[in-house]
Structure formats: C-alpha cells, structure tokens
Amino acid sequence: MTMNEKLIFTNKTGEELDRFIGDLGNPRTIIITDNNVEAEVFPALGPASGVVRTSPKIVIPAGDDNKTLDTLATVWKALSEMEAVRKTVVVNIGGGVVTDLGGFAAATYMRGMRCVNVPTTLLAAVDASVGGKTGINFNGFKNQVGVFSEPVATIISSEFFSTLPDEEILSGYGEMLKHGLLESADAIGRLLAINPLQDISLLLQLICDSVSVKARVVAEDLRESGARKLLNLGHTFGHAFESYSYERNSPAAHGYAVVWGLVCELVLSHMRLGFPSELLYKVKNYVREYYGAFAITCNDYPALIRAMRHDKKNPEADSINCTLLRAPGVGVTDEVVSEDEIKSTLDIYRDLML
C-alpha cells in the first residue's frame, strides 16, 4: 500500500490551508481543536485563513487524559448535530491528541470522512502527522483503540513552535532522535550537535529530514506489518515507561519516554547485535543532559514487563518484541526479548542514567 497523504511544508499555514481546501472544491469544513490551541493559535491563524474563521469548531479539552472514549463520543455527537456528511472535511488543528482523536472520529463517522491535519506541536509534526495512526487511550492503555487512516493532507510549519514550552519541544525532538538513528550516523550526528531549545531556526530543515524518514518507511508499509516496525525503535521500553508513569500519577511526555526507551534499546542492541558503544554513550549523555532520567528501582520491573506484554507490537500475547539496531541506519525488527534480558537491560539503564 502506498502513502496517499500530501505533505505541505510552509510557514504560511493559513494560506496553504485555504488553498488546499480550495483545490478540493471548497467542501464544507469542520474544525476539531482543543481549548489551548483555540486560545493560543487561532488569534494568529484566523486572520490568515477563511477556513479557520468560518468553519464551525469542535473544541475538546486539552491533554492526553482527555484522549478518551467520552471525548470521542462528544466529537461524534457534535459531527452528527452539525449534520456533517461523508463529503464534509474535518480539519484537525492541534497536537497529537487532536490529530489522533480527530483523525479517528473522521475515519469512523459515517464509516469515513476526509481530514486534513495541521499539527501545532513539534511532536505532532514529526510523529502524529504522518503515518495514519489514529485512536484513543482505553482501559488504561495508550492508543488501544483506533484505525490506520491517513489524512488527505498534513500542513507542517514551525510557526506555532516558538510559544511551546521547552518540554514540548524536547518531546518532539525525541522522535526526531529516533528517526536520526534509523537513518544514518550522519543524521543522528546532526541532531546530537544542536540544542533544540536554542537553535530553533535550524529546526524546520531537521523536521523535513525527520518526516521524510518516517514517510518513506510508512509508504512501504501502511499497516505496520513489516518495514514500519522499524519506527517502533525505542517504543517497547518507551511505551512501558509512559504507561507506568501514568500509573504512578506523574505522567511522562511521550518523547521523553521514547528517548529513555531509546537508551534501553540501544543497550539491548549493543548486547545482542553489536551496536557501537561509542554512539550509545553519546546518545545516553545527550538524553541525560536534556531529558534527565526516568527513576526506577528493581521493584518497578514487574509493572514495566507487564506493560510491555500488553503492547500492540507483540505478535502473540506471551512474547515481547523490540526493534533494534545493528548500527545507525541498520534496523532489525521482531527481536523477541526474554524477561531476563529486559531485567539486565533495565539494570544497565539504571547504572548509566541514575
């Protein structure tokens, strides 16, 4: 299956959105966004875009704990009450919660409307915007329910990022580090050479590079049966850290969980596949400097292993799978990992990071 999504890189988001909707023949549009984005982004975006000014808006409460079935039901209900039909186009303007939940609502309302994504965070731009993963959290698990469904277009800019808190920039940068590792020694080297909180003018080019890594992998494999599993690098451990951080009531940002997961999975990659230790140490130092560490003791291992067992990436209920690297740019998917290896990896992670 090929990727049909159109990626538009621009720093004139409003104009490009209007142009794209015009190219579709000016169908009726409905905006899905959250209350933070409405307050912070719309005052600047509205004047530049007739679509933003004139479309009815469905405003959901911001934050990952609102990525729920209840919120989804209110969105479906609003679409129904606005008499949306299958040809109405949904425009998701926001971070990953808005694009994931709004994308799922659009993919399922009347068995599928089109949507356009306008990511307003770095994480949504480099991760959620490309690849068609939509969904909600359910029963305590992240993205437990959803579908693969691509937006007809994603409009990516850096114009909304200047107002983002540092944590959000770093969270997005975590996914970029992953893409860099999947691409080449040069690509990860370029990312480790800058401070994303200070060198914002360099970000847009690095985002383009990063999105193109993801887009290329996704185009080969929309439904995550083969090559796409490469993108799970860092995510077996990362999702476990993330789920567990919610259980502990001190939620970790997704990109933070991913970089901590990257450190673990590079450790595993070194042990099993000879991933170069020098680069492992460089990544570890960078992560420690900018992201700190997820604090765990061996008492936390059973909960983390339980979270890994529940991961969508596992082909069978009783195995735990990772994507690992022989070297930067040389990924290996479907590596089945034993509980003992996970425990050893977490031991080394604690030695390196804590």
Residues with a catalytic annotation lie at 111, 133, 175, 214, 224, 228, 232, 235, 239, 254
Least distance from a copy of itself to the Cβ atom of residue 222, Å: 11
Please say which residue, 107 or 304, places its beta carbon nearer to a copy of itself: 107
Please say which residue, 14 or 146, places its beta carbon nearer to a copy of itself: 146
Kindly state the tokens that stand for 334.
């479907």
Q: Which of the 8 DSSP states describes residue 124?
A: I
Least distance from a copy of itself to the Cβ atom of residue 228, Å: 12
CA 62 from centre of chain = 16
Please say which residue, 80 or 285, places its beta carbon nearer to a copy of itself: 80
Please say which residue, 5 or 16, places its beta carbon nearer to a copy of itself: 5
Half-sphere exposure for 236 (CA within 13 Å, toward CB)? 29
Q: Is 343 exposed, middle or buried (0-12, 13-18, 19+ CB in 10 A)?
A: middle
DSSP β-ladder status, 29-34 and 57-60: parallel
Kindly state the tokens that stand for 57.
């808006």
> Phi, psi (5° rounding) for residue 286?
-65, -45
Q: At what angle do helices 339-353 and 301-309 cross, to 10 degrees?
A: 130
Least distance from a copy of itself to the Cβ atom of residue 315, Å: 5
Residue numbers at the binding site for a copy of itself (CB under 8 A): 28, 69, 73, 76-77, 80-81, 83-88, 107-112, 133-135, 138-139, 141, 143-148, 223-224, 309-310, 312, 314-317
Would you say 232 and 260 are in contact if contact means Cβ atoms under 8 Å apart?
Answer: no
Least distance from a copy of itself to the Cβ atom of residue 75, Å: 10
